[in-house]
Amino acid sequence: MANIPEFKPNFKYSNVGLVVGTLCYAKELQKKTGETYGHEFLINAKGHGSINVRVPSLPKSNYALQNFPVAEKPRVRVGLATLSQFFANTGKIYTSVTSFVEMQEAVKLDGSEMPDSIKGRLGGEVFNIKVEQDGHITCHLVAYETDKNGNRTTLKNGKPVDPRVIQLHIVDPAIIEEFKAKVKNGSNIEVGYSYVNKDDVSYDEYGLPVGSGNHVDRVEVGRLIVHSAPQQQQNMGGFGNFQQPQQQQPQQQFVDPFASTGTVVENDPFANNGNNFFGVNDYPF
């Protein structure tokens, strides 16, 4: 993916979500020096599947370990979760989230249990729109990280934080039609997403399997808001201007969430932001 759209000050960018499910596993995140700087947790959400949750803050991750022992398989929630995708050269996409807030019990204010969930909202610029053979739509969305004033977030060395590129899947027939009618490459959109990482199989009342049996691992769009459309159609694929998808995948400096040992990226974009990464008013849950 050679051309990632540049940052546009008048665009709305967002990347915030909530993970609710059963805590299944934890491992240390370590710097190249061997120093532990946080933990990565595996959370399974019924109906969604599993996702890796990175907490690159040792006080926050230790709080989680102390209050929610993994051996007890507790139900937990992690808010203000930033979605990331690592695009491997093989074409495999690894999806994870990062959070700097304390892990909490999966209960509402009234004491009732929260349903399992891996959901949130993403806002940014659309590119590489493609209609798949099954009629579903895939596209990429670039979400730049911004502060409360809409300026790009910077690292300690003053350089801007690299944007997140997320592949979206539009599978709902109604949203597919809305997307075709309103969205072009270069549009500024915001979506409500749901992450799914499970086998496409269920069982009927006779115990017989129903579904394709294929493994589904994708970020699905459940709601679409179009903030603006481009003045001119960009030459980046999409409706009215189809192109063959490029083989090269986005090269982003993210940690492989499934590696045996976690390593920190040079100039960790979260090191200078901590809990101030999102404002309180941005929390949608």
Residue 135 is predicted with a pLDDT of 94
247 in a domain, yes or no? yes
Q: Which two tokens stand for residue 124?
A: 């940014």
Give which of 77, 75, 79 is closest to 22, Cα–Cα: 75
**Averaged pLDDT for residues 120-143:** 97
Distance CA 198, CA 216 (A): 5
278 in a domain, yes or no? no
**Averaged pLDDT for residues 181-197:** 97
Measure CA 225 to chain center: 18
Residue 82 is predicted with a pLDDT of 96
Residue 194 is predicted with a pLDDT of 98
Q: DSSP strand E in the chain: where?
A: 14-30, 36-45, 49-55, 75-87, 93-98, 104-105, 117-131, 137-143, 164-170, 188-199, 202-203, 209-210, 215-228, 262-263
Residue 249, C-beta contacts closer than 8 angstroms, at least 6 positions apart:
1, 87, 88, 89, 91
Of residues 232 and 104, which shows the higher confidence score?
A: 104
Q: Is the pTM of this model over 0.85?
A: no
1 in a domain, yes or no? no
- When mean pLDDT is compared across 38-52, 94-108, 173-187, 240-254, the lowest value belongs to 240-254
Q: DSSP strand E in 31-113: where?
A: 36-45, 49-55, 75-87, 93-98, 104-105
* Domain that includes residue 197, residue range: 14-268
Question: Is residue 151 scored above 70 in pLDDT?
Answer: yes
Q: What is the dihedral of CA 153, 220, 167, 217, to 10 degrees?
A: 120
Residue 255 is predicted with a pLDDT of 36
Neighbours of 118 (CB within 10 A): 29
Distance CA 169, CA 195 (A): 10
Of the pLDDT bands very low, low, confident and very high (cuts 50, 70, 90), residue 111 is very high
Of the pLDDT bands very low, low, confident and very high (cuts 50, 70, 90), residue 205 is confident
For residue 242, the domain's CATH number is 2.40.50.140
**Averaged pLDDT for residues 202-229:** 89
8 in a domain, yes or no? no
Q: Euclidean distance between the first and final Cα of the chain, in Å?
A: 33
Give per-residue pLDDT as tens, 243-282.
Answer: 334 444 444 433 333 333 333 333 343 333 333 333 333 3
275 in a domain, yes or no? no
**Averaged pLDDT for residues 85-100:** 94
Residue 270 is predicted with a pLDDT of 36
Q: What is the DSSP letter of 173?
A: H
281 in a domain, yes or no? no
Residue 208 is predicted with a pLDDT of 85
Residue 33 is predicted with a pLDDT of 95
Residue 263 is predicted with a pLDDT of 35
Give which of 1, 43, 41, 68 is closest to 195, Cα–Cα: 43
- When mean pLDDT is compared across 63-67, 167-171, 195-199, 236-240, the lowest value belongs to 236-240
> What share of the chain has pLDDT > 90, as a percent?
71
Q: Which two tokens stand for residue 42?
A: 């595996």
Question: Is residue 147 scored above 60 in pLDDT?
Answer: yes
Residue 248 is predicted with a pLDDT of 42
Give per-residue pLDDT as tens, 3-49.
Answer: 899 999 999 999 999 999 999 999 999 999 999 999 999 999 999 99
Distance CA 113, CA 143 (A): 32
178 in a domain, yes or no? yes
Tally of domains within the chain: 1
Distance CA 282, CA 82 (A): 12
